Structure 1
Amino acid sequence: MGTQLGHVYRQLTFKPKPLPPDIRLDGQTAIVTGASAGGLGFEATKELAAHGLAQLILAVRHIAAWIKNLEVTRAKTGHESNVQVNHLGTAHLSLLLPPILRATAAHTSRPARLTVVASEAHFWTLFSERHAPSILQRLDEESSFKPGDMERYNTSKLLNILWTRGLSSRVAAEKNGSSGTAAVTINAVNPGFCASTLEQGGHCLTDAACRHGDQQGAYISEQEVKAVSGFVTSVEGERAQKRLWDETIALFQELDPFLDLGNLLEA
């Protein structure tokens, strides 16, 4: 798992399956980010809608928005674009959602879901920025960017995995009433490498969002729970995960001194 040769093999031999017809989403609401026309998110929305959603919210930055992975660009915030879109934007939204998800879980008596789109590419980054005094500051420095390869994109997907694990560990203890089940289920999914217009990639997203409810902080690939990279579960990886969490939270609190993390992350 995780080698590029293995990735190619799985791409050629595995075909994602659509949601079974008996999975119904009647009365439920879904928010899908990155759901611009032609993207994987948009393909996922079509499948979710077909299973009876009551409300479907498409959260789109711009209908033609995309990142140049291979050259240095900066978001309006000043941060490097891969880090801003794939990590900081995702992390900020994920911090704002738990109170809403907890309320939903209490109302429906079943866990609410938060699914982060990661990638098998998290196996393939050297992540040398972890050795810097500040991970996020180093990622923003142009000298850390390697034009012409996918290293920065791969790193941003590793940040997705580290953040998902950190966030899920902080909400895992929250239970839904007397049922004893988790109030909020948070997992990461690898959609595979595919052309954005292929609905099969969307099947991976909907599978992760609607199934695997007994998992928490899991990495779902080929519609099954799989092991993350060895680095993620190593002592060094756990240290990097904590540093990334602390640096990200500090950045958000600097931008918004009134951000109440106690309210966001605790029942």
Structure 2
Amino acid sequence: MTHSKELPPLTSPFFPNLFIKNQFFTKPRFPPHSTNLSDQVALVTGSNTGLGLECARQLLSYKLSRLIIAVRSSAKGEIAASNLRKQYPKSIIEVWVLDMSSYDSVRAFAARLDKELPRLDVAILNAGMGRSAFSTSPDTGHEENLQVNYLSTMLLSILILPILKKKSPVGLPGRLTIVTSMLSITAKFANKSEVPLLPAFDRADLFDPYDIYQTSKFLGQLFIWKLTDMVSADDVVVNLVEPGFIKGTELQRDISGITRIILNLFKTISARSVKVGASTYIDAAIVKGKESHGCVLTNWDIAPYAPFQYTAEGKIIMNRLWEETLKEFNFIDTNSILGFLKTA
């Protein structure tokens, strides 16, 4: 099976060509009925509602032994967990606090995983934000979409990789699946030439409410391209998954007025259900094997990265983003972590 990095970049326009193909002419694929996750431990971030909650439910339906619901609000997490416990009383379902707008919360969460879990098989990083108004995180000062969708997600990925490597059974690599967006193909990434790059996202005058979500997700693809080169698929299989256009989530909850009405109508006509969308998560994290390491999964198949990543300019920007991001994370010992991941 051809790797994402080796596939030719897409040339068809996203709208309407690829969108129509994805939403109307792709048949969902669910895991085999024989799938059995007994004895396994998984965590799903942002799992008190929408795709994350449905993903948690589907994992439990395959006899998952222990589930960590990682959410910002413990109260909302407990409501979701309570309902899941009624459906799956044989599974251990816990709510752990994780605020993706805070580096301290991300670090505390990862430290707790390392300290308290004797085993961890699967991590699905689903938590995301689609805020159309400019605002910054009070903890970091970064624009919030950038903070949640990119910076904190990449930090958590780095911190969780050695835990998955250490705590997955011998001969069974851990699984890290990071949720991205098919809209990344359309990202304008207008500030890509700014030097330095990351601070440009924190400027209100450069903020584009119609592009920030897809660009913040696209940044994750640029970073994971390089990060997965440092991780063996024998230790942890890392991939990115695009669930498609989904209804029944709270991603665009801050949109109001006529825009919200139009969006809801568009969802009614063309969006996938959360059940179908979450099945892409399960496929990426459970069904796909080592062949998916470092790949983007779209429509349950390995797909190419966004076209920009294959260009000479894209490679330059990718390297600059990598260096700036590691510098941003200077409060952790990234060299030791990445060195451990490289060690056979």
| Shorter-normalised TM range | 0.7 to 0.9
Q: Which residue of 1 aligns with 2:187?
A: 125
Q: Answer with 63-72 or 77-86: which moved more.
A: 63-72
**Offset at 1:17?**
2.5
C-alpha separation between the residues in 2 aligned to 1:68 and 1:21? 34
Q: TM-score, normalised by structure 2?
A: 0.69
% identical equivalent positions: 32
**Larger Rg, first or second structure (1 or 2):** 2
On the 8 A contact 2:59/2:282 being kept in 1, the answer is: yes
C-alpha separation between the residues in 1 aligned to 2:171 and 2:51? 30
**Offset at 1:203?**
0.6
Q: CA RMSD in A?
A: 1.9
Q: Which residue of 1 aligns with 2:239?
A: 187
Instruction: Tell me the amino acid that sits aligned with residue 83 of structure 1.
Output: L
Instruction: Tell me the amino acid that sits aligned with residue 136 of structure 1.
Output: L
Q: TM-score, normalised by structure 1?
A: 0.88
Instruction: Tell me the amino acid that sits aligned with residue 171 of structure 1.
Output: V
Once the two structures are superposed, residues 92-136 of structure 1 have per-residue CA deviations (whole angstroms, 9 ceiling, x without a partner) of: 10111122111134x331111111101111110121221000111
Question: What are the equivalent positions in structure 2 for 1:1-267 lying under 5 Å apart?
Answer: 1=10, 3-5=14-16, 6-37=18-49, 39-62=50-73, 63=76, 67-76=129-138, 77-105=140-168, 107-147=169-209, 149=210, 151-172=211-232, 182-196=234-248, 198-213=274-289, 214-253=291-330, 256=331, 259-265=332-338, 266=340, 267=343
**Offset at 1:68?**
5.0
Q: Which residue of 2 aligns with 1:175?
A: none
On the 8 A contact 2:129/2:213 being kept in 1, the answer is: no
On the 8 A contact 1:98/1:184 being kept in 2, the answer is: yes
When residues 68 and 218 of structure 1 are mapped into structure 2, their CA distance, relative to the original with a 3 A threshold, is closer
When residues 243 and 48 of structure 1 are mapped into structure 2, their CA distance, relative to the original with a 3 A threshold, is same
Q: Secondary structure at the match of 1:126?
A: coil
C-alpha separation between the residues in 1 aligned to 2:226 and 2:248? 29
Q: Secondary structure at the match of 1:146?
A: coil
On the 8 A contact 1:124/1:154 being kept in 2, the answer is: yes
C-alpha separation between the residues in 2 aligned to 1:25 and 1:233? 37
Once the two structures are superposed, residues 18-61 of structure 1 have per-residue CA deviations (whole angstroms, 9 ceiling, x without a partner) of: 22112221111111111122x11111010011112121111112
Instruction: Tell me the amino acid that sits aligned with residue 223 of structure 1.
Output: W
C-alpha separation between the residues in 2 aligned to 1:226 and 1:68? 24
When residues 184 and 67 of structure 1 are mapped into structure 2, their CA distance, relative to the original with a 3 A threshold, is closer
Q: Secondary structure at the match of 2:317?
A: helix
Q: Secondary structure at the match of 2:67?
A: strand
Instruction: Tell me the amino acid that sits aligned with residue 58 of structure 1.
Output: I
C-alpha separation between the residues in 2 aligned to 1:69 and 1:55? 32
Q: Secondary structure at the match of 2:192?
A: helix
Aligned positions, number: 251
C-alpha separation between the residues in 2 aligned to 1:159 and 1:247? 12
Instruction: Tell me the amino acid that sits aligned with residue 261 of structure 1.
Output: T
Instruction: Tell me the amino acid that sits aligned with residue 239 of structure 1.
Output: I
On the 8 A contact 1:129/1:135 being kept in 2, the answer is: yes
C-alpha separation between the residues in 1 aligned to 2:59 and 2:322? 31
When residues 98 and 68 of structure 1 are mapped into structure 2, their CA distance, relative to the original with a 3 A threshold, is closer
